[in-house]
Structure 1
Amino acid sequence: MKYDPTTILSVVEQGYKKNKTGIYSAIKRNGEWIETSIDDFKQMVQDLALGLYELGVRKGDKVSLHAENSTEWLVIDQAVLSIGAVVVPVYTTQPGDQIKYILENSEAKVHFVSNDEVFSETKPLIKGVENVKAVISILGSDHKKLKTFNKILEMGHKRGEEEPNLFEKLRSNVEPEDIATLIYTSGTTGVPKGVMLTHNNIAGNALAAHEIFPFETDDYDEPKVLSYLPLAHMFERTASYIYAYVGVPPYYIEDVDKIKDDFGTVKPIYLVTVPRLLEKIVTGIKVKGQEMSGIKKQLYYWAVNLAEEYDPENPPAKWKWKIADKLVYAKIRELFGGRMVGFNVGGAALSPNIARFINGIGIYCGLGYGLTETSPVLTGPPRGELRIGSSGKPIVDVEIKIAEDGEILAKGPCIMKGYYKMPEKTEEVIDDDGWFYTGDIGYLDEDGWLFVTDRKKSLFKLSTGKYVAPQPIENALVNSGFIEQAVVVGSEHKFCGALIVPNWENMKKRFKTKGHEFPDGDITENEFVVKRIQKEVDKVNENLSKWEKVKRFKILEDQFTIDAGEITPTLKVKRNVINEKYKEQIAAIYEDEDS
């Protein structure tokens, strides 16, 4: 094993001296960036830790955290860990019944909320949870039922003055094998499962994963990273520890819809993301060419097409790329702030076309793979290497093998301790030899690069006996500028169908360019809309096997949402919910199946 067992606290502490900016992190509030220095951050962590200690929080106690990304989120995390307690993050988009379940199941002693609004929404739920002894609001007002973040800081500061050695004494009692966090998987089926991750699970994963980050901080003046994925998810959470370790401050955005402005202001060198954001950005870049005309338009799309055909093992001729770079790519890179080194993508499959395009314009874009249960990173492209469509190679200290049925199995120090209070569920996924069964299907090529094809549970069988992996087809569909979301169906039917939500904004633009008025009322059956979507589906079908082709589809007007329970907080489709909710539309797809 390359890395000795360690704690998250140690990993973060090692990065303080590496940080050249003096800023630990920043948060955008009401349009203004608020930066927090390393010294202020460390003081807040100590004060909050001792404040929680004053409230009765002890080693092993659970502290839940229901809040948006912020510097305070990081302070709370480090403070709770510093006294040996366990952090229980809650997604801001988590349904109420799940929040109540998480608080009760985890036996949370203290519960943090971001503000009065979040508190008022969850107050009826918390009221009936007897184990929660105190509720603390990060930005809320002080009243009888709610303690404020600042009040706890004051309590802790006073305790620190009275007992100067207490904080270090508590920190020194934290061991690598102590549980650091309980992460409740959002899940596409059943109740959430509490994933128990130790300090060493996460700290070791952060140290190993940082080796595949595509940059060295010494190469940049005042390097910064941009962040928008929820810290409640292990992908961004572990990334936050890596940022701390390498000494780069994360800047937490306020509104993902305004991320273009944040790119320009922060000028980040790096971003951890899920595919959907890149898909939207690339779609916007492609559509922009429609506003041009003549030779300018021709050159723009020549450069775009060149990028989409990018192959790292056989890059385009240098003279072609230099022309495209001068005319188009340099301007596109400015959209990301002009200093962007790379993106690391996780959470779902990345369309090869998107990966080619981003790499083709001169910004690294690598796909990794992992799960909450694996802390989370299992694989990623080694620095300086890339294979389009692959999730990379196993990181340090991780082993990957493929079971006979194609399931991906993993082993290493990042594998969870188990599911909280669910020993039977734990035994289902971790065998006696320590192999974790991921539930994903994939293969390793001759050089050990991993290719993930789909979730095992997502595979379905047509009535013809052919198996279909829907995710790659869905990824290809949403790569179109006219398709926002897509869910492929067809289990026990003769052919594949799809539920498609168009990108209505781009559709309206197309109506306008064609001189048509955008219709009122039901537009899902509009002839122009249907023809446009059919054209996009036909393009995707050209590259699919005969049994994978989408033969029929139904257009939906409204997007699938977290609030409606159709997708998880990490944007994964809940197929069982979709199949039930849209059973009439799916039935219509197969109405004349036998004719």
Structure 2
Amino acid sequence: MKYEPTTILSIVAKGREKNKTGIFSAVKRNGEWIETTIEDFEQMVHDLALGLYELGVRRGDKVSLHAENSTEWLVIDQAVLSLGAVVVPIYTTQPGEQIKYILENSESKVHFVSDDEVFAETKPLIKGVENVKAVISILGTDHKKLYDFDDILEMGHKRNEEEPNLFEKLRSEVAPDDLATLIYTSGTTGVPKGVMLTHNNIAGNALASHEIFPFDPKDFDEPKVISYLPLAHMFERTASYIYAYAGVPPYYIEEVDEIRDDFATVKPIYMVTVPRLLEKIVTGIKVKGQEMSGLKKQLYYWAVNLAEEYDPENPPAKWKWKIADKLVYAKIRELFGGRMVGFNVGGAALSPNIARFINGIGIYCGLGYGLTETSPVLTGPPKGELRIGSSGKPLVDVEIKIAEDGEILARGPNIMKGYYKMPEKTEEAIDDDGWFYTGDIGHLDEDGWLFVTDRKKSLFKLSTGKYVAPQPIENALVNSGFIEQAVVVGSEHKFCGALIVPNWENMKKRFETKGHKFPEENFTENEYVIKRIQKEVDKVNENLSKWEKVKKFKLLEDLFTIDAGEITPTLKVKRNVINEKYKEQIDGIYADEES
């Protein structure tokens, strides 16, 4: 084992001397960036930990956290961990009934909320949760029974005056094998499961992941990273520890719709993301060319096509790239702030076209793979290496093998202790030899690079006996500028169909450039819209096997959303929900099965 067992607290502390900015983190609130110095951050952690101690939080107790990303989120996390207590993060998009379940199942003693608006949905439910002894509002509250964040800081400050060595004593008792967090998987099916991760699970994973990060803070003046994925998810959470260890402050944005402005202001060098954001940005870049004409338009799309054909093992001629870079790529990189070194992508499969394009314009874009249960990273591209379509190689201390049925199995110090209060589920997931069954299908090439195909549960069989992995087909469909979302269906039918939500904004622009008036209603039944989408589907079908081709589709007007329970907070499709909710539309696809 390369890394000796350690704690999250230890690796965060080690980053203090590496930080050249003096800023621990920043958050955008009401349009303004609020930066917090390392000294102020550490003081808040110290005071909050002792304030929570005053409220009765002790080693092993659970503290739940229902809030948006912020510096305070990080303060709470570090304060709770400093007591040897356990952080239970909750997505802001989580339904009230699920929050109640998490609070009861985890036996949370103290519950944090960001403000009264976030608290509103759980207020009527939390009254019956007897284990929650205190609710604390981070940004202030009008509720008399809620504690104010600043009041808890003050309580801790006073406790420190009475017992100045208490904080260090409690913190020194935290051990690598102590439980650090309970993460309730949002899941695409069933009741949320509480994933038990220790300090060492996460800290070791952060150190191993840091080895393959495509940047060195020493190479930059005032290096910063930008963050938008929820800290309630292990991908962003572990990334936050890596940033702290590397001495690079994360800047937490307010609204993802404003991220382009945030790129320009923050000028980040790096970001972790899920594929959907990059897909939308790249689609916007491609559509931008439609506003041009003549030679300028030709040169623009020549450069775009050159980027989309990028192959790291056989890059384009230097003279071609230099011309494309001067005329197009440099301007595109400015959209990301002008200093962006790279993206690491996780959470879902990344379209090879998107990966080629981002790398082709001169920004590193690597795909990793992992799960909540694995803290979360299992694989990633080694520094300086890249294979389009692959999720990389196993991290240090991680083993990967493929079962006979194609399922990816993993073993290492980052594998969870198990599912909280679910020993049967734990036994199903981890065998006697320590191999964790990921539920994903994939293969390793001759050099040990991992290629992930799809979720095992997502695979479906046509009535012809052929198996279909829907995710790669969906990724290809949404790579079109005219398709916003797509879900491939067809289980026990003769052919594949799809539910498609068009990109209405781009569709309207196409109507205008062609001199058509966009319909005021019945968008999904418009003949021109259907023909345009059919063209996009036909393009994708050209590269698919006969049984994978999408033969029929139904258009939907509204996006699948987290609030409607159709996708998870990390934008994975809940197929069982989609199949049930849109049964009528799916039945319509197969009304005439013989066709």
TM-score bucket of the superposed structures, by smaller chain: over 0.9
Matching of residue 261 in structure 1 with residue 285 in structure 2: no
- Alignment gaps of 5+ in structure 2: none
Alignment of 1:362-377 (within 5 A): 362-377=362-377
Q: Is the 8 A contact 1:139 1:149 kept in 2?
A: yes
Q: Secondary structure at the match of 1:156?
A: helix
- The alpha carbon displacement at 1:140 in A equals 2.0
Q: Secondary structure at the match of 2:548?
A: coil
Alignment of 1:383-402 (within 5 A): 383-402=383-402
2:296 corresponding residue in structure 1: 296
Q: Secondary structure at the match of 1:366?
A: strand
- The alpha carbon displacement at 1:121 in A equals 2.0
Q: Is the 8 A contact 1:579 1:586 kept in 2?
A: yes
Matching of residue 337 in structure 1 with residue 337 in structure 2: yes
For 2:120 and 2:50, the matched residues in 1 are separated by 27
For 1:125 and 1:208, the matched residues in 2 are separated by 41
For 2:397 and 2:240, the matched residues in 1 are separated by 21
Q: Is the 8 A contact 2:116 2:142 kept in 1?
A: no
RMSD of aligned alpha carbons: 0.6
Which amino acid in structure 2 is aligned with residue 492 of structure 1? E
For 1:121 and 1:94, the matched residues in 2 are separated by 10
For 1:565 and 1:215, the matched residues in 2 are separated by 37
2:409 corresponding residue in structure 1: 409
2:175 corresponding residue in structure 1: 175
Alignment of 1:524-563 (within 5 A): 524-563=524-563
Q: What CA deviation, in whole Å up to 9, does each residue of 1:491-521 have, x standing for no partner?
A: 0111000000000000011111111111122
Alignment of 1:67-216 (within 5 A): 67-141=67-141, 143-216=143-216
For 2:551 and 2:96, the matched residues in 1 are separated by 39
Q: Is the 8 A contact 1:401 1:408 kept in 2?
A: yes
Q: Is the 8 A contact 2:8 2:202 kept in 1?
A: yes
Q: Secondary structure at the match of 2:359?
A: helix
Q: Is the 8 A contact 1:554 1:589 kept in 2?
A: yes
For 2:561 and 2:225, the matched residues in 1 are separated by 28
2:53 corresponding residue in structure 1: 53
- Alignment gaps of 5+ in structure 1: none
Q: Is the 8 A contact 1:134 1:147 kept in 2?
A: yes
2:489 corresponding residue in structure 1: 489
Q: Secondary structure at the match of 2:15?
A: helix
1:287 corresponding residue in structure 2: 287
Matching of residue 275 in structure 1 with residue 283 in structure 2: no
Which amino acid in structure 1 is aligned with residue 202 of structure 2? I
- The alpha carbon displacement at 1:324 in A equals 0.2
Q: What CA deviation, in whole Å up to 9, does each residue of 1:273-323 have, x standing for no partner?
A: 000000000000000000000000000000000000000000000000000
Which amino acid in structure 2 is aligned with residue 120 of structure 1? A
- The alpha carbon displacement at 1:353 in A equals 0.0
Which amino acid in structure 1 is aligned with residue 301 of structure 2? Y
Q: What CA deviation, in whole Å up to 9, does each residue of 1:87-144 have, x standing for no partner?
A: 0000000011100000000000000000011122211111110000000000022542
Q: Secondary structure at the match of 1:64?
A: strand
Which amino acid in structure 1 is aligned with residue 114 of structure 2? S
For 2:581 and 2:216, the matched residues in 1 are separated by 48
- The alpha carbon displacement at 1:43 in A equals 0.2
Q: Secondary structure at the match of 1:212?
A: coil
Q: What CA deviation, in whole Å up to 9, does each residue of 1:66-90 have, x standing for no partner?
A: 0000000000000000000000000
Q: What CA deviation, in whole Å up to 9, does each residue of 1:454-502 have, x standing for no partner?
A: 0000000001110000000000000000000000000011100000000
For 2:413 and 2:82, the matched residues in 1 are separated by 22
Which amino acid in structure 1 is aligned with residue 248 of structure 2? V
For 1:347 and 1:6, the matched residues in 2 are separated by 26
Which amino acid in structure 2 is aligned with residue 399 of structure 1? E
Q: Is the 8 A contact 1:265 1:337 kept in 2?
A: yes
Q: Secondary structure at the match of 1:154?
A: helix
Greater shift in the superposed pair: 512-521 or 329-338: 512-521
For 2:413 and 2:128, the matched residues in 1 are separated by 38
For 1:329 and 1:122, the matched residues in 2 are separated by 47
Which amino acid in structure 2 is aligned with residue 250 of structure 1? P
Q: Secondary structure at the match of 1:59?
A: coil
Which amino acid in structure 2 is aligned with residue 457 of structure 1? K
Which amino acid in structure 2 is aligned with residue 181 of structure 1? T
Q: Is the 8 A contact 1:345 1:368 kept in 2?
A: yes
For 2:594 and 2:219, the matched residues in 1 are separated by 63
Q: Is the 8 A contact 1:408 1:438 kept in 2?
A: yes
For 2:225 and 2:108, the matched residues in 1 are separated by 32
Q: Is the 8 A contact 2:523 2:557 kept in 1?
A: yes
2:478 corresponding residue in structure 1: 478
Q: Secondary structure at the match of 1:547?
A: helix
2:567 corresponding residue in structure 1: 567
Q: Is the 8 A contact 1:407 1:437 kept in 2?
A: yes
For 1:529 and 1:98, the matched residues in 2 are separated by 39
Q: Secondary structure at the match of 1:587?
A: helix
1:498 corresponding residue in structure 2: 498
Structure 1 runs of 4+ aligned residues shifted over 3 Å read none
Q: Is the 8 A contact 1:24 1:250 kept in 2?
A: yes
1:445 corresponding residue in structure 2: 445
The two structures have a TM-score, normalised by structure 2, of 1.00
Q: Secondary structure at the match of 1:129?
A: coil
For 1:305 and 1:402, the matched residues in 2 are separated by 36
Q: Is the 8 A contact 2:273 2:344 kept in 1?
A: yes
For 2:171 and 2:374, the matched residues in 1 are separated by 25
Q: Is the 8 A contact 2:440 2:455 kept in 1?
A: yes
Which amino acid in structure 1 is aligned with residue 233 of structure 2? H
1:220 corresponding residue in structure 2: 220
Q: Secondary structure at the match of 1:451?
A: strand
Which amino acid in structure 2 is aligned with residue 500 of structure 1? I
Q: What CA deviation, in whole Å up to 9, does each residue of 1:15-55 have, x standing for no partner?
A: 01100000000000111100000000000000000000000
Given the superposition, is the C-alpha separation of residues 154 and 142 from structure 1 closer, same or farther in structure 2, using an over 3 Å criterion?
A: farther
For 2:101 and 2:53, the matched residues in 1 are separated by 25
Q: Is the 8 A contact 1:142 1:148 kept in 2?
A: no
**What is the count of residue pairs matched by the alignment?**
595
1:588 corresponding residue in structure 2: 588
- The alpha carbon displacement at 1:155 in A equals 0.2
For 1:311 and 1:125, the matched residues in 2 are separated by 54
For 1:40 and 1:468, the matched residues in 2 are separated by 53
Which amino acid in structure 2 is aligned with residue 242 of structure 1? I
Which amino acid in structure 1 is aligned with residue 451 of structure 2? F
Which amino acid in structure 2 is aligned with residue 307 of structure 1? A
Q: Secondary structure at the match of 1:594?
A: coil
The two structures have a TM-score, normalised by structure 1, of 1.00
- The alpha carbon displacement at 1:374 in A equals 0.1
Between the two proteins, what is the percent identity of the paired residues? Answer: 89
